[in-house]
Structure 1
Amino acid sequence: MTERVKLKDLEDALEGLPYPLSKQNAVAEVEGIVLVYADGEETAADVVERIEEEVFDDPASLAASIRNNLPTEAVGEPGQSEGEG
């Protein structure tokens, strides 16, 4: 079953996984999660495959690694920043 997850809810979606989790197991565990971006979407498994870390100790470490490997279009238009108005 596919679960669509907004980036703000990513850590909550990763809570129930069995930690510590190897990168290979993380790819399998997040297979059904689709990350909803500002402009499009991508499977969490595809993002995890780009991560260099090999072990994740908790949901926060996996979520941070996923966020660090997101494409530019995931969070908005280039040159935009939150707080400017």
Structure 2
Amino acid sequence: MTREVKLNELTELLESASYPLSVERAQSEFSDVRLQYADGVEPLDEVLGRLEDDQFDSAEEAQSSIFNTVPVEGVGEPGQSEGEG
């Protein structure tokens, strides 16, 4: 069964893992997770595959690395525009 996780729910998911956590193990552990972006979804294991990290020492470190890899178009709400208002 596939789990869809919004970016703002990623912390809770990552906190369920034991650390230190290798990227390879994270890909296996979260192979059923798809990140839900503002403009679609992407398997978390594909995002993890783009990272240069080999291991995470904490959920916060994992989240930071993942957020730095998520496409800019994926962040925010559909139709939301920055700098207006």
Aligned length: 82
TM-score, normalization by structure 1: 0.86
User: 1:32: which partner in 2?
Assistant: 32
What's the counterpart of residue 5 of structure 1?
A: 5
Which residue of the partner structure matches residue 55 of structure 1? 55
What RMSD in Å do the two structures reach over aligned CA positions?
A: 1.6
Q: 4+ residue runs of structure 1 moved beyond 3 angstroms?
A: none
TM-score for the superposition, normalised by structure 2: 0.86
Residue type of the alignment partner of 2:67: R
The residue identity in structure 2 corresponding to 1:54 is D
Quote the sequence identity (%).
43
Specify the code of the residue in structure 2 equivalent to 1:29. Answer: E
Q: Where does the alignment leave 5 or more consecutive residues of structure 1 unmatched? A: none
Quote how far apart the aligned CAs of 1:16 are.
Answer: 1.1
Name the CA distance, whole Å, in 2 between partners of 1:3 and 1:70.
18
Structure 2: tracts of 5 or more residues without a match: none
Q: C-alpha offsets along residues 28-72 of structure 1, whole Å, 9 cap, x if unaligned? A: 111111100000000110000000011101111111111100112
SS at match of 1:53: coil
Letter in 2 for 1:33: V
**C-alpha displacement of 1:84:** 4.1
